[in-house]
Amino acid sequence: MSRNRQMVPEAKEAMNRFKMEAAGEVGVNLQQGYNGNLTSREAGSVGGQMVKNMIKSYEQTLANK
């Protein structure tokens, strides 16, 4: 069983777009599908950028309340 399943399956496409945007921001050449050629550093930088963007979005939401 996959531990990397999404809680809201309908959000899969949006998450993929978000991941591709984050990869572009940090300069990682991310492909659709399998990306086994990425180094741990590259994969981590994509994930880190995603978290950074989520925090920024949440902070903006709080500031607008």
8 A C-beta contact, residue 60 and residue 53? no
* Contacts of 23 by beta carbon, 8 Å cutoff, 6+ apart: 29, 30, 46, 49
What residue spans of the chain are helical by DSSP H? 12-26, 40-63
Q: Round to whole Å and give the CA distance between 64 and 51.
A: 20
Residue 6: φ, ψ to 5°: -90, 140
The tens digit of pLDDT for each residue in 48-60 reads: 999 999 999 999 9
pTM: 0.80
The tens digit of pLDDT for each residue in 7-41 reads: 888 888 899 999 999 999 999 999 988 999 999 99
